[in-house]
Amino acid sequence: MIPTIDFARPDGLVARDLPGTILLDAEMGSRIPDDAFLEQLTEVVINPVADIMESTPSVVDLVPLLSAKPQFAFVRVREELSRRGYELPER
């Protein structure tokens, strides 16, 4: 279960949110402290990507994921896959 995050609203009510969704909302993201934003970014983006990378013995094993989500492939990954004969779709 993903724990919710409660935010006190100006009208006194409490808004409930899930980790990560706040990263998509510029207005909401600007209202939370930097450390809370960084904590959510780490929890929702950085740690899952690190888990994928740690469980993948070779960059070639990432080709199916990166073909489906080419925006995840940064320049050095694209260059390495190209060197190995794999071309990813454009972002």
**Is the same domain home to 46 and 71?**
no
**Is the same domain home to 11 and 24?**
yes
Other CB atoms closer than 10 Å to residue 21's CB: what's the count?
Answer: 13
Confidence (pTM): 0.43
**Is the same domain home to 10 and 23?**
yes
Measured distance CA(8)–CA(28) in Å, rounded: 12
**Is the same domain home to 34 and 70?**
no
| Candidate ranges 19-23, 49-53, 65-69, 82-86; pick with highest mean pLDDT | 82-86
**Is the same domain home to 64 and 50?**
no
Q: How many domains in the chain? A: 2
**pLDDT band at residue 2, thresholds of 50, 70 and 90?**
low
